[in-house]
Amino acid sequence: MPDTIDIEIRDYDETLAEGIAQMWNTWDELWPTSFTQGVPYTAERVRKQFGNLNAIAILIAIDMNARKPVGSCTLFAHIRDKDAAYVGTLGVSPEALGKKVGKRLLLESLQRALQKGYNRVDLNTWAGNMKAVPLYKKVGMMWNPEMGGVHMEDYIPGILKHPLSSLFFGDSTNNGGWYDFHTREPIQAPDEYQKMGMDIYPYEFSNGDNKLSVTVDRLGRGITAIKRVIDNEVLRVEASVSSHQVLCGLPYIFKLEIENSSLSELPVSLNLKGFKGLIFDKTPNLNFSVQSGETLVWDVPFHLDSSATLYRDNIRTPVIITELDIEGSKSELHTGLKIKTAAEIKTRWGECKISAGGKATIPLTILNNITKSVSARINLRSTSPELRVTAMDENVTLDSEGFGGTILEITSSENLENGTHDIWVSFDISINSDHSLTTREFKIPIFNVDSSSIAVSHDESQNRIMIISRKYNASFSLEGGILRAQALSEGDSLPFILQSEIGPPFGINPFRFAERTPSISKDEGATVVSMKAKHPDRPLLIEDRAIFENGSGIIQHELWVTNTADETQSMQLRLLGRGGGISFSRGVSYIPFSSGIARVDNGNFHSIYPATSSNPSDYSEGWIAVEQDAVISGQVWDSECIEEIRFGLGQLNMLAYPFVSLEPGETRRLSQTWFIFGVSHWSSIRRFWQAEVERRHEDTVSVLEKPDAHNLTQIDMKSLVLSKVNPIETQLGIRKNTQAPLGGRLTIRSPQDWAVKFTSSNIEISDKSEGSIASCNLLMAQDVNLGLHFDPTKTISDGFSIHKGLVTFATGWEIRKPFYLVKLGASEGTVNVAKTHDQNSEVYRVTNDLIEYAVSPDYGGCLISLRNKNDVEFLTSAFPKATPKPGGFFDNYYGGIQPIVFDDDLGEDLSKAKTNRESMTASIYESGLWKGVEIFWTGKIQRATRGVQFKLRYLTTPKSPLVLIQWIISNTTNAPIKFWPTIMIDPKMDEHLSESTIVIELNGNPNELRNGLIPVAASPSRNVVWIKSREDIKDTTGLCFMLAGDTARIISASVGDILLLGAVDGFAWIKPNEEYVITGALRVDPISNEENIDLQQILDQLI
């Protein structure tokens, strides 16, 4: 196939719209993240997009054989540099790739820029487009090594029109013939060149024996030297400085060289033009004749004062302009200066905050930019009379291009107002005995913010607005309108980032770097920072607006767009955040997938796009929460308003909104998102989403509930209850929330004295091993279900036992889940339940050949006695008549295991509740292996429980040390009910439990509490309390009380021989026709607290 096609480059007109739409619809496969964004172009859409485009040129490449467009290129005026243009969108149809269509479009763009008087054309492309770099370099593009992405700059237009170089090109200047003279090796790497300490771009041209060398000053973005050889006559004009980096207050030399090898003298007139802050120390003009064969060298000393503009990354530097008149031909050279101060400060330990009447310190780092060691005296000035600042060391020594520092000590008066107060720092620097200088002043903002205020400062050094509160530090950059906000945690938390982008197309667009116009307003509720800019490609006014609420830790971001054209404008918005990369931030994130809320480590790449879905419907809610160093932050959005979502590490990577059309003059808000800081639990982020987005507020009980979060990849395997020690089979499932395939090693460590093997799988497994440890390799494109078979490998005692195993799945991270094989008691034997009467009360006595307990429906449904095989009584009871306990606080004290329901709102507090006076009945109850007594009553006496049905079961199995307590509350009324079900336990703390210890977990750590004269009260972090008998007691190891889950709370309080032990559930909000179940257990004679904890974790799976 030919490597070219017959192409004609035309200016856009509306007759081409249909063909352009068809062409653009073929670009998706070539464009990063698609060109059309899934919405095919139409002729009408093309007309609207191009109709009011403020472009220098809209170029269309026409295939003259197929008579259709196969490429397009837009050219715009540069956002910053008035003498430059930039290529907006450049693309070629798939069938025209490699046919030099892109080259023709670029060459024509350069020609149009030249005709319009521009000196430079810029182009941005994405890093993955390396195959296009050689083409770009062949047409004169230089890859800037300092700017992000692949930023290209082409100085061909300026070279072609410069009077000293245009003579070389002759007639080829205006027809693109220069391309054949351009000599260059198109290396796929940034163009990093230096000459005499200056950062430059070299251009070389050759036409037979005629040569042209042009040197472009990379920082000043202009031509600084030209060497021309025509017919063996050499003319070289070269401007340079002794150092590209210049420091205010120090002397430097500007040098101009003119080499003349022609046969005649050259009359030359020279004049230097500077800028604010530059002072020439010698007359900056000269008239001279350069004789044949001579070289003129003109040195002009200069220095800069403190008013000179300091260097900023990626911004064209100030330049010295050399005005040349050589034989009547006038031209200019531009030489840039990277201006810095002799010394500068860094406050790298965060923003300084102070309170009225308080003190603060600022570690101050001083950077020496001078190439020798110097001494510096620190000068300090405060703009507020209420602030006093001193330096611990007023005089510091600074190493050559090194650093020094001191500590600033700040004291404020009680009258310091909220807001921002500036401190100014400067330095008197002694360079040598004959030379000293004073630097400009550097601003250090000091923020006084209380819990309800916001402070704002303009940071000129980084071109941003700083917004400070008690809960976060935020900034809003003037360049690009990028909002950053970071929680105040002890570690290095990742800031949330948000930046708006209008398209399509999307990609590296100069609007991202456009300078915004800021405005700040305040009222009693918030501080509003607005960033406005005109879109360079479209007739749109863009406003990024951030609302910082006073005292709430909430930042609201809005994007507003105004159509300034006379026609309808269609567009799409994207909000961009942080993407992938490597994160050193600790902590976890919570993401609401449709399958449930996932808890993932912040460095887990399986939680970010493209491993996770970009479809909003795959997420149940619109928020993400991040937890680091016990500090919770989050982002919130409306999922109903977006068509695509991508997650980065611990935050949003992108929100894509649908296409919208704005009528002429219309202003509309296109997005609304929130940052949230300083909440106590990640579920608060979820509740904010419910309130602000869904407009739904939770009831008080729901607010107290903490929803569960699971791993990004979940292991599903239930524990198994064994009636006999026999082989047993079960299912294991692995569920994933990622759309990317997930590979890893699955390992099942069977409990001791058991072996395990695989019996089935819904996917192929490899490298399988079985035995006490079974493992295999998995490659999960979907959820996995595996069958497992367990076999005992030796005789296991026929009694109560818990056999713990572990499932692990090791992929990029490791997931662990324990499982249990539980033997509740003996395989043989019975549970006997005898209905008796004792002191005119009905009593049910339950025995299982290991323990014995008694329950009475006539005595408040209480369990009144519990004994082990050694006849040790564990409970104290007032049976048969309830009486106030000496030293206690219950009017209706029953003792033993006492169920109580109370409701303070209805005047039935815990101490006076009459639950146990309700009319109760009892019956023998059996369920599977369990057998015991069920107490039943319907609330009548207590107002809070009228019409509510209660079933309280005390169950056991043969030769089991357990009494399972299952309390089922059924709301058979037509009203929602709210009360506090409570189980009180009165252990018998004399005799065998005398001087016992209370074994519990506090904040996740094991603790042993001992009774004494001073009351000791605690609410364990895990619902397990072991009343552990003394070591010298042989008949028992004590009694353990536990509750399943962590919704209810156990309370333990003791003094002397009195122990108040109970469990209170504050979440019993029961709707009509719903049931609420509380599961607990009494474990007689525990073996270890580890076994107690294992049992508690699976308690609600035992029945």
What pLDDT sits at residue 69?
A: 96
Q: Kindly report the backbone phi and psi dihedral angles of residue 639, in degrees, each rounded to the nearest multiple of 5, phi listed first.
A: -65, -25
What pLDDT sits at residue 905?
A: 79
The pLDDT mean for the chain works out to: 91
Structural domain spans, the chain:
342-448, 457-710, 721-800+812-823, 836-1101
For 640, residues 6+ apart whose C-beta sits below 8 A from its C-beta are: none
> What is the chain's percent helix, strand, coil content, to nearest 5?
10, 50, 40
Three-state SS at 1092 = helix
DSSP per residue, 728-750 = EEEEEEEEE--SS-EEEEEEEEP
Instruction: Give the residue among 712, 781, 779 at the shortest CA–CA distance from 740.
Output: 781
Report the CATH number of the 342-448 domain. 2.60.40.10
Does the domain spanning 457-710 belong to CATH 1.20.1540? no
Per-residue pLDDT of 883-909, as tens digits, reads 776 555 566 789 999 999 998 877 788
Would the pLDDT of 301 be above 90?
A: yes
Would the pLDDT of 240 be above 50?
A: yes
pLDDT band at 995 (very low <50, low <70, confident <90, very high): confident
In the chain, pLDDT over 70 holds for what percent of residues?
94
What pLDDT sits at residue 349?
A: 67
Q: In the beta sheet, which residues pair with residue 364? A: 406
C-alpha distances out from residue 1018 to 987, 1050, 1060, Å? 17, 9, 11
Would the pLDDT of 696 be above 70?
A: yes
Residue/partner pairs of 199-202 with CB below 8 Å, 24 or more apart: 199/244, 200/224, 201/142, 201/153, 201/155
d(CA 843, CA 131): 89
Model pTM score: 0.79
What pLDDT sits at residue 978?
A: 87
The beta-strand segments (E) located in 369-495 are 374-382, 387-391, 395-398, 403-412, 419-432, 435-438, 442-448, 455-459, 464-468, 472-477, 483-487
Q: In the beta sheet, which residues pair with residue 589? A: 600, 626
So what CATH class is 836-1101? Answer: mainly beta
What pLDDT sits at residue 1050?
A: 81
Q: Is the peptide bond before 505 cis (omega within 30 degrees of 0)?
A: yes
Would the pLDDT of 710 be above 70?
A: yes
DSSP single-letter state for residue 16: G
Q: What is the dihedral of CA 494, 495, 501, 507, to 10 degrees?
A: -30
The structure tokens listed for 962 are 């357990």
b/e code 63-91 from CB counts within 10 Å (16+ = b): beeeeebbbbbbbbbbbbbebbbbbbbbb
Residue/partner pairs of 693-697 with CB below 8 Å, 24 or more apart: 693/622, 693/636, 693/637, 693/638, 693/639
User: How far does Cα 231 stand from its chain's mean position?
Assistant: 64
Q: Kindly report the backbone phi and psi dihedral angles of residue 379, in degrees, each rounded to the nearest multiple of 5, phi listed first.
A: -110, 135
Least confident of 470-479, 575-584, 735-744, 832-841: 575-584
What pLDDT sits at residue 1058?
A: 63
Please, what is the end-to-end C-alpha distance for the chain in angstroms? Answer: 76
What pLDDT sits at residue 937?
A: 98
d(CA 701, CA 695): 18
- Candidates 2.40.50, 3.30.200, 2.60.40, 2.40.70; correct CATH number of 721-800+812-823? 2.60.40
Number of residues in the chain: 1103
Would the pLDDT of 489 be above 80?
A: no
The structure tokens listed for 733 are 């499932």
What pLDDT sits at residue 1020?
A: 87
The beta-strand segments (E) located in 793-840 are 801-810, 814-823, 832-838
The average pLDDT across 107-112 equals 96
The winner for highest mean pLDDT among 489-498, 694-703, 1000-1009 is 1000-1009
Three-state SS at 704 = helix
Per-residue pLDDT of 429-448, as tens digits, reads 998 888 899 999 999 999 99
Give the CA angle between residues 988, 992, 995 to the nearest 5°: 85
Q: Which amino acid is at 129?
A: N
d(CA 691, CA 702): 13
What pLDDT sits at residue 702?
A: 60
d(CA 920, CA 931): 19
d(CA 822, CA 801): 6
Equal CATH topology for 342-448 and 721-800+812-823: yes
Instruction: Give the residue among 56, 125, 65, 53 at the shortest CA–CA distance from 101.
Output: 65
Would the pLDDT of 686 be above 90?
A: yes
d(CA 400, CA 372): 4
What pLDDT sits at residue 1014?
A: 46
C-alpha distances out from residue 969 to 666, 911, 978, 1073, 1077, Å? 59, 21, 12, 10, 6
Per-residue pLDDT of 737-769, as tens digits, reads 888 788 899 999 999 999 999 999 988 888 888
What pLDDT sits at residue 17?
A: 94
Q: Which amino acid is at 879?
A: F
Per-residue pLDDT of 597-626, as tens digits, reads 999 888 777 788 878 888 999 999 999 999
pLDDT band at 1 (very low <50, low <70, confident <90, very high): very low
What pLDDT sits at residue 584?
A: 55
Residue/partner pairs of 198-203 with CB below 8 Å, 24 or more apart: 198/224, 198/240, 198/241, 198/244, 199/244, 200/224, 201/142, 201/153, 201/155, 203/140, 203/155, 203/156, 203/159
d(CA 714, CA 840): 55
Q: With beta carbons less than 8 A apart as the criterion, state whether 41 and 25 touch.
A: yes
What pLDDT sits at residue 1013?
A: 46
Q: Which amino acid is at 1046?
A: D
Would the pLDDT of 458 be above 80?
A: yes
d(CA 717, CA 192): 59
Would the pLDDT of 428 be above 90?
A: yes
Least confident of 212-221, 556-565, 793-802, 1085-1094: 793-802
Would the pLDDT of 514 be above 90?
A: no
Q: With beta carbons less than 8 A apart as the criterion, state whether 569 and 48 touch.
A: yes
What pLDDT sits at residue 491?
A: 57
Burial of 663 (0-12, 13-18, 19+ CB in 10 A): exposed
Q: With beta carbons less than 8 A apart as the criterion, state whether 431 and 437 touch.
A: yes
Least confident of 22-26, 861-865, 873-877, 883-887: 883-887
The structure tokens listed for 170 are 């002759």
Would the pLDDT of 777 be above 80?
A: yes
The structure tokens listed for 1064 are 């209170």
Q: With beta carbons less than 8 A apart as the criterion, state whether 424 and 383 touch.
A: yes
Per-residue pLDDT of 378-409, as tens digits, reads 999 999 999 999 999 999 999 999 989 999 99
